[in-house]
Amino acid sequence: MTDHDVAQDPDERRLSTREAADRLGVKPETVYAYVSRGQLTSRREPGGRGSTFDAREVDALARRGGRREPSGAGSELAVRTGITLIDRDHCYFRGVDTSELAAHHSYEEVAEWLWTGEMRRGIRFTAPHDALTAARRAVDALPAHTGPMDRLQVAVIAAAAADPLRFDLSERAVLDTARTLIPTLVAALPRRAAGRSLAQARAEEARAEEAGAGRAGDERAASGRAAGGLGEAEQAAPGQGAAGQGAPGQAAAELGTGGRGAAEPGAAEKPAPELGAEDGPLAPRLWSRLTSEPADPPSLRVLDAALVLLIDHDLAASTLAVRVAASARAHPYAIVSAGFGALDGALHGAASGLAHRMLLEVLDRGSAAAVVADHLRAGRRVPGLGHPLYPGEDPRARALFALLEDVPRARPALQAARDVITTTARHKEWHANVDLALAVLTVAAGMPAEAGETIFAVARTAGWIAHALEEYDEPPLRMRPSGQYSGPRPPQPLP
């Protein structure tokens, strides 16, 4: 938008370019970029030497999340968000301590609350047939050596292709997609079992799903008889269609009683779902994809708590990638793909795998001293220690270590982690971060080194959806920083 030469209203407060830049925390050049993109209007005063800006309009842009650009090295991009606050060695989701949320609620409950503001006890997320079939076929076509992150990236693309309504960015449609995408990603991963091929694992999954569908049909029939002959549509929960009638991408969230919180008053008791059942809680489903070891309740509590604690962590690299994609109005599957792409970097999602391998080495050598010394001698940071956002111990690690105390199989790995912390503290006061706690779980449960990254990716998907919902309410394409050209000045000869 261009400047306009008009007389100034004496009741209207105007800001100079420098004042507007200071209020927004950006460079003067960025203020003019806002004008060119239509986010601000400017005006030349009669006899003035520069443009002026409406103070109210500048303040409104700042409230919408105008960029903060401290000058000099280490400049940061800041985005206003109401999702996560990290403050004095504590992490909060919407003002609630994440450790308390993990202690009292399941992953699905916290995800639903983060998206909608409503805590629905016992909520379950289930995968729609079409999306799951497409995702599994795509995953099964990959080479046998393919890692879980590659499988997840392929699964989300296949699920998107199976959903023709994916471009609907209304809040309800995005929530429906979120509730079905997460279980689809988990169910697309093959179950792990010693001595079984992928084909055998898929055959067992199909038999389990057929049995589950039969049980669900019996329960619906019994429910219909008890309801005095009400039709399916009349018995459906508000905002939900009859069972099995949802369009592709619609929610398949169901209410059960398997969360850590108490069930809704009056809810009928149901038998505990079998481990990994596709209509049960998400943590057992994910467990069966990470290890062939049997799960005990304390171990599942740790996994579920890890999923909660890893939902979001402010604007990490993957979350920023998600918000940029959402700013361009990418659909939910695409924003999750953007997050996976950033998470696949060696400096983001792979950290827990390094800690996992280190703990295995400590257990193999019987001492942390030699292992820590090897890292320090090579100039490498000791995995699983230190976090730039926490001067002290990572609160997520603290919560998981407390839960791991109740897991008998975790004692050797837990002691190895403590040895690493104690040994390193003789040289530098580095505190444990969540990657070390996650590594204790993955080592103790016989999971592969990449399991921690898989847990991270599944958990963080809920946070990415929350950030996308927030970004969809902002002006589109606002995540468009201006480049600072450093190449040769034109004109240059034709090469």
> Is 348 noted as a catalytic residue in this protein?
yes
Choosing from 344, 394, 435, 467, the catalytic residue is 435
Contact 360, 329 (CB under 8 A): no
Q: Which long-range contacts (CB under 8 A, 24 or more apart) does 152-157 make?
A: 152/185, 152/188, 152/189, 152/340, 152/454, 152/457, 152/458, 153/337, 153/340, 153/341, 153/344, 155/184, 155/185, 155/188, 155/189, 156/181, 156/185, 156/333, 156/336, 156/337, 156/340, 157/333, 157/337
pLDDT in tens, the chain (495 residues): 434 433 444 446 888 888 888 888 787 878 877 776 677 888 876 666 678 888 888 888 876 654 444 433 344 567 889 999 999 889 999 999 999 999 999 999 999 999 999 999 999 999 999 999 999 999 999 999 999 999 999 999 999 999 999 999 999 999 999 999 999 999 999 999 765 555 555 566 666 556 555 554 554 444 443 433 333 333 333 333 333 334 444 444 544 434 444 334 434 444 444 455 677 899 999 999 999 999 999 999 999 999 999 999 999 999 999 999 999 999 999 999 999 999 988 778 788 999 999 999 999 999 999 999 999 999 888 999 999 899 889 999 999 999 999 999 999 999 999 999 999 998 888 899 999 999 999 999 999 999 999 999 999 999 999 999 999 999 999 988 888 899 999 999 999
State residue 54 phi and psi, 5-degree precision: -70, 120
The tokens describing 177, both together, are 């997609």
Opening angle at CA 474, ends 470 and 475, nearest 5 = 160
> Is 375 noted as a catalytic residue in this protein?
no
> Is 435 noted as a catalytic residue in this protein?
yes
Tell me how long the chain is: 495
Choosing from 97, 130, 348, 374, the catalytic residue is 348
Choosing from 313, 387, 431, 467, the catalytic residue is 387
d(CA 148, CA 454): 7
